[in-house]
Structure 1
Amino acid sequence: MRAVGSGPEAVAAFLHPRPVGELHGIGPAQERTLMTYGVHTIGLLANLPEATVQRVLGRKAGRLLSERARGIDRRRVVPAELPHSAAAQRRFPTDTLAPELVRSALLSLAVELGERLRRRRQAAKAVTLTVTFVDRTQIHRSRQLPGGPSAHTDDLRDASYDMYRALGLQRARLRAVALRCEQLVDAAAVAEQLSFDADREHRLRAEQAIDALNARFGSGTVGPAANYPRAG
């Protein structure tokens, strides 16, 4: 897929050399008619007076195709629907028995997905944890977020920790873990509940500051200390 600049020069450079038959909305009969008049490219069509194109192709079609040849499209832009879920996975370098490594992976997943949801202004109603064992078998566990839809890292982390702890996998070797945020909704429609937990309020304010820094300097620039290796 090629990206085209929004300036008139960039649009013209992309459109004008192309065959007139590639113009969006043109039919085979219209293409043949233009070809009989020597109009082989979109650029030639764009350089014709609109009145001339209307006489050749008809008033409505002539105006429409003349405008599109010049990069004008009056159709309403409809934003693409946001995804209904968001997922991420962590594969361990070697199969592991260590709960602390699994928790660290789950934390990094919560950080990544929380940031992604907040950037898209979405919130998740539910979270699904997938654990992959060394023989490639998997266990899936899902949980509704108890406080309602959320995109906060703390809520996603706590849900993933609870699901992992409930599995009781003390002696099972794991190859990977994955987290999926599901039943996504527009965050603007989610009422933020008042909290009397001062620590949580501090963390949420810190989360906003972290998001701003990561948006400016790149995702992962700032995050929980547990996600970064200790200096040797």
Structure 2
Amino acid sequence: MERVILHSDLNNFYASAECRDNPELRGRPVAVCGDPAARHGIVLAKSQEAKRCGVKTGQAVWQARERCRDLVVVPPRYDRYLELSAAVRDIYISYTDRVEPFGLDECWLDVGGSAGLFGPGKAIADDIRARIRRELGLTASVGVSFNKVFAKLGSDYRKPDATTLITQENYRSVVWALPVSDLLYVGPATTRKLSRYGVYTIGQLAQSSLEFLHTLLGKVGVMLWQFANGQDGAGVAPYYAVPPVKTIGNSTTAPRDLESDDDVKITLYALCDSVAARLREQRSMCSAVQIGIRDTGLLWYERQAQLLRPACDSTSLFQAAFALFAGNRPRYAVRSLSVRALGLSLADEAPQLSFLPEEARRLRRTDLEEAVDRIRGKYGYGSLRRCIMLTDPALDLDAKGTNIVHPIGFLGTMAESARSH
């Protein structure tokens, strides 16, 4: 059966959701921005009107206002975006059960088996766009192709509210003229590397020597060569399939610079509490911990270390995280921190336990933290707090709801494909 892959991308999703819910914003330059007072003041999304004024995602609010004096700034409402995202996915699954999310506002669909009911891929894409517009008051751009990479290129090709068809017959004329940076997973660093060797377009990448790309970029170079030549064989995962969890992490930009060890400890404990709680919720343990540090000079780096034994308690995570920080102190005060649990395994599959006293203490800590989970679940995060948090409550945060769960996803699948090439 012929593969027919759609990639649907909601246009300016956060900003469009705000304009949908507040008619007074329609037709005005709107930007959804974080809170400058909490040092999260960047543009998360912008309307078409703001885009035409030169407002870009990732700009600081003050920069956006310089570009557009009439800019209307609104705070994000993530619960509302989740609600609308779920409603859009309900539309998708009425056409196929092969629906794979790629963020809140993007999904791949495999409609190869739906043609008998709904027609060819382009007709399905047009129908989906019409329903999103009619039923939800949002717009989407949809790419239709024979693989996931080109379907995503198609959804970016024409915006807003458009369908682009990329086929086996036309992909060289449509895709190969595009900048190499438009290809999935070609970031700024890779773009710069390729440009040094005269590779500026996807076509030039496709026609490059495979050996050259492997030497320059390693296995990723092989994967990108496959992408550029239409050799992406990755399937679209079933919507109700639960992907294996690879890592669980969390990060925060502190409301003020972290200048002392106690400042760092408070923030790391809050992050480790949230990551450990999610580990227990997933009935998982981690064998390694990674921290990320960004200082006020905006230098960002990550460090990781193995744990002596798999763990899911925040104290074990914190001890490893703070040891990493102490051994890799930044030159300037800390602006943001992240903690990630790596090497996950199911708790039932953990290695044979040790009879050493430290292992018994770790098990008691885990039991204690599970009791804390139950109390916080019933009475709220603030019902139980560590004493160190009381020294500066402004640095404490209920980060449980904002964990980042990293499944084994599309890039991992393609990297495996490239590895076996």
Same fold (TM > 0.5): yes
Q: Quick check: which has more Rg, 1 or 2? A: 1
Q: Distance in 1 between matches of 2:255 and 2:118?
A: 58
Q: Is 1:204 matched with 2:366?
A: yes
Note if 1:96 corresponds to 2:265: no
SS for the counterpart of 1:116 is: helix
Judged with a 3 Å threshold, the aligned counterparts in structure 2 of structure 1 residues 77 and 3 are, in CA distance, closer, same or farther, namely closer
Residue 80 of structure 2 aligns with which residue?
none
The answer to whether the 8 A contact 2:285-2:347 is kept is yes
Is the contact between residue 195 and residue 201 of structure 1 (CA under 8 Å) also seen in structure 2?
A: no
Structure 1 residue 219: Cα displacement? 4.6
The whole-number CA distance in structure 2 between the counterparts of 1:195 and 1:90 is: 35
1:127–1:156 CA contact under 8 A, matched in 2:
yes
Q: How many residues align?
A: 171
Matched, 1:133 2:295: yes
Q: CA deviation at 1:143?
A: 0.1
Equivalence for 1:159? 320
Structure 1 residues without counterparts, runs of 5 or longer: 5-13, 33-75
Equivalent residues of 1:210, 1:223 under 8 A apart = no
**1 CA distance for matches of 2:277 and 2:328?**
27
DSSP-derived class of the 1:91 partner: strand
1:150-178: per-residue Cα shift (whole Å, max 9, x none)? 11111101101111111245x62111111
SS of 2:245 mapped into structure 1: coil
Structure 2: gaps spanning 5 or more residues = 1-85, 98-112, 120-237, 394-421
Q: Where does 1:116-127 land on structure 2 (aligned, <5 Å)?
A: 116-127=278-289
Alignment correspondent of 2:347 = 187
Secondary structure of 2:327's counterpart equals: helix
1:159 is aligned with what amino acid? A
Secondary structure in 2 matching 1:92: strand
1:2 aligns with one of 63, 68, 87: 87
Confirm or deny: 8 A CA contact 1:213 1:221 kept in the other structure: yes
Q: Does 1:106 align with 2:268?
A: yes
Range moving further from structure 2, 219-228 or 137-146: 219-228
Deviation at 1:201, TM superposition (A): 5.0
- Distance in 2 (alpha carbons) for counterparts of 1:31 and 1:3: 18
Q: How does 1:1-232 map to 2 (within 5 A)?
A: 1-2=86-87, 24=96, 27-29=114-116, 79-147=241-309, 149-169=310-330, 172-191=332-351, 192-197=353-358, 200=362, 202-219=364-381, 221-228=383-390
Separation in structure 1 between the aligned mates of residue 295 and residue 256 of structure 2, nearest angstrom: 12
Q: Deviations over 1:62-101 (max 9, x none)?
A: xxxxxxxxxxxxxx99640232011111222222322210
CA RMSD of aligned residues (A): 3.3
Inter-CA distance 222–79: structure 2 relative to 1 (3 Å threshold): farther
Instruction: Give the Cα–Cα distance (whole angstroms) in 2 for the partners of residues 162 and 30 of structure 1.
Output: 59
Greater RCO, CA 8 A, separation 6+: 1
Q: What percentage of aligned pairs have identical amino acids?
A: 18
Closer, same or farther in 2 for the Cα pair 1:131/1:77, shift >3 Å?
A: closer
Separation in 1, partners of 2:378, 2:88: 23
Cα shift readout 1:162-207 (whole Å, capped 9, x = no counterpart): 11111245x6211111111112111210144334256555433321
Q: Relative to 1, partners in 2 of residues 1:92 and 1:194: Cα closer, same or farther, differing over 3 Å?
A: same
Which residue number corresponds to residue 191 of structure 2? none
Residues in 2 aligned to 1:94 and 1:155: alpha-carbon distance in whole angstroms = 26
CA contact (8 A) 1:133 1:174 kept: yes
Name the CA distance, whole Å, in 1 between partners of 2:328 and 2:115.
Answer: 63
CA distance in 2, matches of 1:101, 1:135: 18
Q: Secondary structure at the match of 2:357?
A: coil
Q: 1:115 to 1:226 in 2, by over 3 A?
A: same
**Counterpart contact for 2:276–2:312, Cα < 8 Å:** yes
Q: Distance in 1 between matches of 2:343 and 2:382?
A: 25
